[in-house]
């Protein structure tokens, strides 16, 4: 189905209508959620399933309900509270962003995409998502789920390119409704469709509200022709060892001698390499006498 002939108004109506019935009830989607709560949810949800994000988000918001509350805490407390969400540098970036909000924006989440993008650790996706979901600005919000839905429905491709391209971004902008309110509703709805129905493996086309409009479905669901998609290894990797080291420092609630960290992996050289990388990333603070702790 050529893109020019696709009835986008029908796509918008079906997807947003499906979302009203099937979208998950999440605390950061509640009308009374603060911009800070939405900001935290977007940072936490990057590369992390929402089932793991929700309990961590609730604990985080209870402890640090405002940017000022987090900025007043030690960076190490943010890393400790991050727990097993993965990619713990995000905890430090969130702390840095909160500090910048206090220093530059009177303790408030800035409302424009440009100001959001200027915060530490905030990229294009997060700036667009917070502008849209917290402040109603109809920015083009493109995550992995959105890319996959648009690749299938509009381009008859099973998967999008390995990394976001300018052409994909232009496609997402073209696919957005022109009306502000509908555009914002579309952004969250198409993202949810990719998360729950148009999933990467085993898409549930029988439950899709736009199966009859989908170019990939109409083409017989042709197999992916691009480079092979590889899953990320975990066991034995530096990422796993870094996680073990951080968990030990979280559990200790104090500084720890290096001798108590050597058995985080069978290869002592790997342990020291990972410990050095954590120090370089600012996630671990080295002390005298070969002791380490989360940053104070």
Nearest of 112, 231, 216, 94 to residue 156 by alpha carbon: 216
Give the pair of three-digit tokens for residue 104.
């530059």
Q: What share of the chain is helix, strand, coil (3-state, %, to 5)?
A: 60, 5, 40
135 and 52 Cβ atoms separated by less than 8 Å: no
Residue 225 CA to its chain's centroid (Å): 27
Give the pair of three-digit tokens for residue 19.
């979302």
> Is 42 in the active site?
yes
Identify the helix (H) or strand (E) that includes residue 67: helix 67-71
Nearest of 154, 156, 173 to residue 221 by alpha carbon: 156
Catalytic residue among 30, 42, 168, 192: 42
- 256 forms beta bridges with 292
Residue 7 DSSP symbol: -
Task: Please tell me the distance from the alpha carbon of residue 293 to that of residue 117, in angstroms, as a whole number.
Answer: 31
Tokens 């918008």 belong to which residue? 12
As annotated, the active-site residues are 42
């Amino acid at each position: 189905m050529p893109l020019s002939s696709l009835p986008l108004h029908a796509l918008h109506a079906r997807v947003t209508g499906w979302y009203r019935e099937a979208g998950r009830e999440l605390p950061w989607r509640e009308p009374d959620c603060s911009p800070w709560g939405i900001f935290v949810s977007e940072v936490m949800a990057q590369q992390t399933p929402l089932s793991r994000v929700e309990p961590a988000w609730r604990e985080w918001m209870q402890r640090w309900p405002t940017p000022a509350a987090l900025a007043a805490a030690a960076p190490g407390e943010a890393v400790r509270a991050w727990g097993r969400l993965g990619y713990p540098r995000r905890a430090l970036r969130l702390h840095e962003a909160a500090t910048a909000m206090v220093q530059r924006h009177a303790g408030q989440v800035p409302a424009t995409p440009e100001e959001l993008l200027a915060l530490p650790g905030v990229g294009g996706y997060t700036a667009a998502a917070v502008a849209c979901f917290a402040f109603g600005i109809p920015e083009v919000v493109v995550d992995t789920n959105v890319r996959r839905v648009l690749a299938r429905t509009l381009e008859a491709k099973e998967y999008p390119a390995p990394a976001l391209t300018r052409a994909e971004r232009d496609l997402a902008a073209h696919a957005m409704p022109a009306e502000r309110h509908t555009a914002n509703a579309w952004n969250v709805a198409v993202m949810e469709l990719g998360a729950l129905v148009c999933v990467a493996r085993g898409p549930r086309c029988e439950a899709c509200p736009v199966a009859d409009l989908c170019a990939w479905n109409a083409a017989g669901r042709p197999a992916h022709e691009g480079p092979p998609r590889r899953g990320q290894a975990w066991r034995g990797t530096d990422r796993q060892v870094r996680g073990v080291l951080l968990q030990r420092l979280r559990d200790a609630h104090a500084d720890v001698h290096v001798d108590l960290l050597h058995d985080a992996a069978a290869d002592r050289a790997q342990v020291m390499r990972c410990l050095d990388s954590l120090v370089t990333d600012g996630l671990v603070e080295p002390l005298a006498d070969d002791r380490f702790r989360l940053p104070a």
